[in-house]
Structure 1
Amino acid sequence: MTAPAARPTVKCLVWDLDDTLWDGVVLEGDVPPPFPPAATTLKTLDSRGILHAAVSRGDHDTATAHLDATGLGEWFCAARIGWGDKSAAVRHVAETLNIGLDTVAFIDNDPAERAEVAAALPMVRCYPADLAGQLPELPEFRPAHVTAEAAGRRLLYRTEWRRRQAEEESDGDRRAFLASLGLVMEIAPATESDLARASELTVRTHQLNSTGLVYGEEDLRRLIAAPDHQVRLARLSDRFGDYGVVGLSVTELTPTESVLRLMLMSCRVASRGAGELMLSHIVRQARAEGRRPVTHFVPTAVNRTMLVTLRFAGYAPVTRDTGDGAPMVLEVPADHPVREPGSHVRLLVRPAPGGRSDR
């Protein structure tokens, strides 16, 4: 078990288009071909689970039509093409994909555009266009784990875009929209085949993360086999498709307590109530086993939402943040009622390999 990296690897590379992704300017009547090194980088980073988005100046319909005509459109999860500040567009992309700006990179041939983004969003890493072919070799574009799910991450985010469009069409009735999704969450013990994805989650997830602990595959293999630990994974699906593995918990068991050492949930599903649902299951199981539900929480610059989620699930502070890196301790009081799953989601619990309970 090691401390998290000082700066996370890139989750999304945001591309300028004209004279960066392709050789020319679409609005000037050209039909510019893609730069071969840029096209290769698109495919290479996609295979590593790194997303692509477009932020460029020009007419949106014209630019996206050319993306599709060149065969590059399928690689992009989001696009903001217009005439405003690129920093605002980059911020919008991060919000659309629900990822932190410190995991976003930006590439543009124009040094003035890079300077504008860097000044407004200093946490975003900026690169000149002539480095496009070299980006896959840089350490920030080489995630520690490349799983089968990582290689298909683009499809998950493109599906999420469809969900967002459906939500916009729901006229703001959030409860009706959630009910229409047909959400199903499955919580199950992690197995040997889950180790790479589980470890990847501890590296990639920062906002909905209780302690920031990073577990390697060997760490997780040991904990899965240990009788005094429980490692659970959460998967989510709906009528649009599969979100994949979205949550992880690592719990240490003592004779009297169930101590949640790490709880994390993908930001992609934060608005679905997935974090609170998983926590409620953990509390319910702890009480069924005669143990007091306890959790640790280490505050960071980006995980305030995780503390709010813990509080909604019934965890109340026992100790406070002392500022010395020691975790806060929270517990669920014995008289606190456990929240049941909402009517918008069906919970499947698989308590052990080969068995499943349905509620």
Structure 2
Amino acid sequence: MAAEGVPTVKCLVWDLDDTVWDGVVLEGDEPVPFPHVPGVLRALDERGILHAVVSRGDHDVATAHLEAHGLEEWFCAARIGWGAKSAALSRIADALNIGLDTVAFIDNDPAERAEVAAALPLVRCYPAEAAADLPERPEFRPAHVTAEAAGRRQLYRTEWRRRRAEEESGGDRRAFLASLDLVMEVAPATEADLARASELTVRTHQLNSTGLTYDEDELRKLAASPDHQVRLARLTDRFGDYGIIGLSVTELTPDDAVLRLLLMSCRVASRGVGGLLLAHLVREARSGGRRAVAHFLPTSVNRTMLVTLRFAGFTPVDEPSAGGAPLVLAVPDDHPLPELAGPARLLIRDA
């Protein structure tokens, strides 16, 4: 296990004119994509790295040009217009539920890169001439590449459609969530799940209780141990499958069920399912005659996870000790069992 490290890039955001293609798209002009661009798009996509567009111009004209050259399918989100690119990048990160420290931006114009770097210092910026070399850079080489990672683009393109549906709902968030027909399934991790589970521990930072990472062998041993439980959560809705979006690693002692790690994918941060997973884990601990305990290590981005734990009934047992020890929280024995209620329907699979 290791503590949270420097995050790899999760999304590369492209300028279009003189970056994706050689020239500027105007009515009647037909600039051709640079020869290296399709290969870069494909190589990073296969590693689970997303592509998006932030560019100046007319949205419909630029999108039509991407489609004409068979490139539109590689991009999961696009903001094409005339405003500040830093603002568009922020909206992309928000829509995809990823941190700005995992976003990269490539543009031929040094002034545009400077504007983004000044406004969003966490975003890594690259000149257009560096595009062909990006797949070789360490920040674009995630430690874990799984079959699900290679299909991540379709998950996020689906999420982009969800976002548009939410915008069209008129701001009634509760009604929108109810309309999604969310279903969360919780089940023990299997051998086929271990690569994705390990990847989640590396890639997930915001909704993460301790920031610990586990490789496949560590998770395999924990899943086989009678003193541990490794649970995975999957989520679906009427638009499609989110895939594996949650992981819990619990140590079982005679008296306590100690949640060593709980994380939820940033993609479902707005779906309200974290509390539902915690409610299930608390109930599971009680049914085994144990107290539900959780460890929490604060980082610069995971305060939302602490709030989620507190809403589920976890309260601090004592003050955290020096030396980076985790804050220990527990659900008091006299605390009412949390309701299995929320925007999603829960399915439990025991094996």
TM range (shorter): over 0.9
Which whole-Å CA distance do the structure 1 matches of 2:96 and 2:245 have between them?
A: 14
One-letter identity of the residue aligned with 1:155: Q
Greater CA drift, 57-66 or 27-36: 27-36
What is the RMSD of the two structures over their aligned residues, measured on CA atoms? 1.2
Q: Deviations over 1:204-240 (max 9, x none)?
A: 0000000000000111011011110000000000111
- Name the structure 1 match of 2:341: 342
- Name the structure 1 match of 2:74: 75
One-letter identity of the residue aligned with 2:161: R
Q: Deviations over 1:162-215 (max 9, x none)?
A: 111221222222222111111111000001111100000000000000000000
Contact 1:179 1:343 in 2 (8 A): no
Which whole-Å CA distance do the structure 2 matches of 1:279 and 1:47 have between them?
A: 33
Q: Deviations over 1:282-333 (max 9, x none)?
A: 0000000000000000000000111111111111112334563210010011
1:203 and 2:189 aligned: no
One-letter identity of the residue aligned with 2:2: T
One-letter identity of the residue aligned with 1:165: R
- Name the structure 1 match of 2:110: 111
Which whole-Å CA distance do the structure 1 matches of 2:343 and 2:202 have between them?
A: 30
Unaligned runs of 5+ in 2: none
> 1:219-234 to 2 correspondence within 5 Å?
219-234=218-233
Contact 2:276 2:342 in 1 (8 A): no
Contact 1:98 1:268 in 2 (8 A): yes
Which whole-Å CA distance do the structure 1 matches of 2:27 and 2:175 have between them?
A: 46
Which whole-Å CA distance do the structure 2 matches of 1:207 and 1:222 have between them?
A: 26
Which whole-Å CA distance do the structure 2 matches of 1:75 and 1:55 have between them?
A: 14
Which whole-Å CA distance do the structure 2 matches of 1:36 and 1:272 have between them?
A: 40
Contact 2:282 2:338 in 1 (8 A): no
Moved over 6 A (4+): none
- Name the structure 2 match of 1:326: 325
Contact 1:321 1:327 in 2 (8 A): yes
- Name the structure 2 match of 1:2: 2
One-letter identity of the residue aligned with 2:152: R
1:35 and 2:40 aligned: no
Q: TM-score, normalised by structure 2?
A: 0.98
* Partner-residue secondary structure (3-state), 1:206: coil
Percent identity at matched positions? 75
Q: TM-score, normalised by structure 1?
A: 0.95
Q: Deviations over 1:10-51 (max 9, x none)?
A: 000000000001000002642111111122101111111100
Change (3 A) 1:323 1:119: farther
Change (3 A) 1:193 1:67: same
- Name the structure 2 match of 1:357: none
- Name the structure 2 match of 1:243: 242
* Partner-residue secondary structure (3-state), 2:336: coil
Change (3 A) 1:320 1:67: farther
Which whole-Å CA distance do the structure 2 matches of 1:267 and 1:250 have between them?
A: 18
Which whole-Å CA distance do the structure 2 matches of 1:321 and 1:69 have between them?
A: 58
Change (3 A) 1:313 1:343: closer
* Partner-residue secondary structure (3-state), 1:54: strand
Which whole-Å CA distance do the structure 2 matches of 1:205 and 1:27 have between them?
A: 40
Unaligned runs of 5+ in 1: 354-359
- Name the structure 2 match of 1:294: 293
Greater CA drift, 201-210 or 316-325: 316-325
One-letter identity of the residue aligned with 1:253: L
Which whole-Å CA distance do the structure 2 matches of 1:42 and 1:319 have between them?
A: 50
- Name the structure 1 match of 2:131: 132
1:146 and 2:145 aligned: yes
> 1:50-69 to 2 correspondence within 5 Å?
50-69=49-68
Which whole-Å CA distance do the structure 2 matches of 1:41 and 1:323 have between them?
A: 46
- Name the structure 2 match of 1:85: 84
* Partner-residue secondary structure (3-state), 1:26: coil
Which whole-Å CA distance do the structure 2 matches of 1:112 and 1:323 have between them?
A: 46
